[in-house]
Amino acid sequence: MTTTDLDQIGGLIRSARKHRGLTQTQLAEVLGTSQSAVHRIEAGNQNLSLEMVNRIAAALDAPLISVGQAAPQHLRVQGGVKLNGSIDVRSSKNAAVALLCASLLNRGRTVIRGIARIEEVNRILEVLTSIGVRATWLNGGADLELSRPDDLDLDGMDVEAARRTRSVIMFLGPLLHSYPDFALPYAGGCDLGARTIEPHLQVLRRFGLDVVPTEGFYRCSVDDSVEPTRPITLTERGDTVTENALLAAALSPGVTVIRNASPNYMVQDLCVFLTRLGVEIDGIGTTTLQVHGVAEIDVDVEFAPSEDPIEAMSLLTAAIVTGSELTIRRVPIEFLEIELAVLEEMGLEFTLGTEYVAANAHTRLVDLTVKPSVLHAPIDKIHPMPFPGLNIDNLPFFAVIAATAEGKTVIHDWVYENRAIYLTELNRLGARVQLLDPHRIIVEGPTRWRGTQVVCPPALRPAVCILLGMLGARGESVLRDVYVINRGYEDLAHRLNMLGADIEVFRD
């Protein structure tokens, strides 16, 4: 094993041990070794046999490495159990993927502190390392160091990994400054129906990028004499399209004005990161961004992306569906205000602590305590809007919440073609969700949740909603093939178990 492998495995062992709530000494006892040996293993300073890795994996009940394709992971939930205590919100998937792509702009060393350890990050990392980026886990796997070579090996790209994530389209912005011709595989990700990349191409055309879709690949060519000469107005206020525009503008000397920009959380994180790279940006958090591009970025930078509002919403829903009092710490409140206002109207009782600042020195955080409450359906339909509106990724959780509330709630997802449809799977757990059309559901509550077996739908948030329904259902449920959940949540089952849930992770 290489030093990097040892370092990575050490990091995985450390985080799995912490998630089990074990000290190094306790783990050492189970393994029949010393605390100092566990310390060396976690620091990546100890050679490990496969036999030892397997023993540690068994002791921690965590698959640490897998050879070949790992068998699908499933969850067995004993539901109807109240949760209690407090839990920290982890950093977001969506900022993580933007920052990973943004690291390509930097010739210096990029350290991303506290990056979410999720499958989506793993896929982008596989793509980055396949093209020559050096990635090293630091501090027991908590932080990630990236450094790119001068020349990327684009032909060596791990196409299979690239196709499993949509975020790879954010390579376009960084790459167009270095390569006159390149190819990128078609973007994948959750199956939420057709998701256009046309707005990305409209923006990047202004930087000289021409894209021809061919069999499975976007063939890209760049005319480097083309720079935006007037403000760029996005036709959609999308998150990743705004990020692609920022990534292209960062290395485009002069001022690029982006109008109808998304001011959403991941975009704000990316903006703050770019300013740390020396790219001045006016208007962060607004819909007009002015980017003062630079000719070259060569900075050793450290950055900690902020906490995930969607994870905060998921945990809040876990408290509601189990009727529990739960404190959710480190909630990025700017991105949950409308959700909380709607929930307050539905009768949710909660308290908010004093605000403090996230490690990115920008995002406002609070600790939120959710109290057991009797909820009723809201009078008006619930629908998402680009930020500052109710977040589209938080909308599915309202189906679970509406199912616990008295009365009928209309939920209107105008954004995605398929996502509302998957929410009808909640009916298998006893909910009454009726599909009015592909974009609208009506949910009638309250629900007597009952345990059952469900295969995860191919969409992250609906899959988590089903898991949350299972937490509320008395008896045993099984959720099969949870890759899609692991795509966006770090060790969710074990973290819920720390709050008193009873979820077993297993493979066939």
Give residues in contact with ligand PEP (CB under 6 A). 166, 189-190, 192, 393, 460-461, 488
Q: How far apart are CA 381 and CA 396, in angstroms?
A: 13
- Per-residue contact flags (x/-) with ligand UD1 for residues 230 to 269, judged by CB under 6 A: ------xxxxxx------------------------x---
Backbone angles phi, psi at 82, to 5 degrees: -75, 145
> Which entry of ligand PEP, ligand UD1, none binds 266, CB below 5 to 8 A by partner kind?
ligand UD1
Contact 293, 252 (CB under 8 A): yes
> Which entry of ligand UD1, ligand PEP, none binds 128, CB below 5 to 8 A by partner kind?
none
Minimal distance, residue 295 CB to ligand UD1, in Å: 28
Contact 161, 127 (CB under 8 A): yes
Instruction: Read off the tokens for 208.
Output: 């000289």
**444 binds ligand UD1 per the rule CB under 6 A:** no
Cα separation values, 144 from 11, 137, 237, Å: 11, 5, 30
Minimal distance, residue 101 CB to ligand UD1, in Å: 10
> Which entry of ligand PEP, ligand UD1, none binds 237, CB below 5 to 8 A by partner kind?
ligand UD1
Which parts of 481-500 interact with ligand UD1 (CB under 6 A)? none
Minimal distance, residue 470 CB to ligand UD1, in Å: 23
DSSP one-letter string for 277-331: TT-EEE-TTSSEEEEEE-S-----EEE---B-HHHHHHHHHHHHHTT--EEEEEE
Nearer Cβ to ligand PEP (10/189): 189
Minimal distance, residue 390 CB to ligand PEP, in Å: 14
CB-based closest residue to ligand PEP = 189
Task: For residue 104, give the amino acid letter.
Answer: L
Q: How far apart are CA 38 and CA 6, in angstroms?
A: 13
Strand 364-371 versus strand 349-352 pairing type: antiparallel
Minimal distance, residue 280 CB to ligand UD1, in Å: 23
> Which entry of ligand PEP, ligand UD1, none binds 460, CB below 5 to 8 A by partner kind?
ligand PEP
Q: How far apart are CA 31 and CA 46, in angstroms?
A: 15
> Which entry of ligand PEP, ligand UD1, none binds 238, CB below 5 to 8 A by partner kind?
ligand UD1
Return all residues near 23 (Cβ < 8 A) that are at least 6 apart.
Answer: none
**Which spans of this chain sit near ligand UD1 (rule: CB under 6 A)?**
94, 97, 166-167, 195-196, 236-241, 266, 386, 392-393, 415
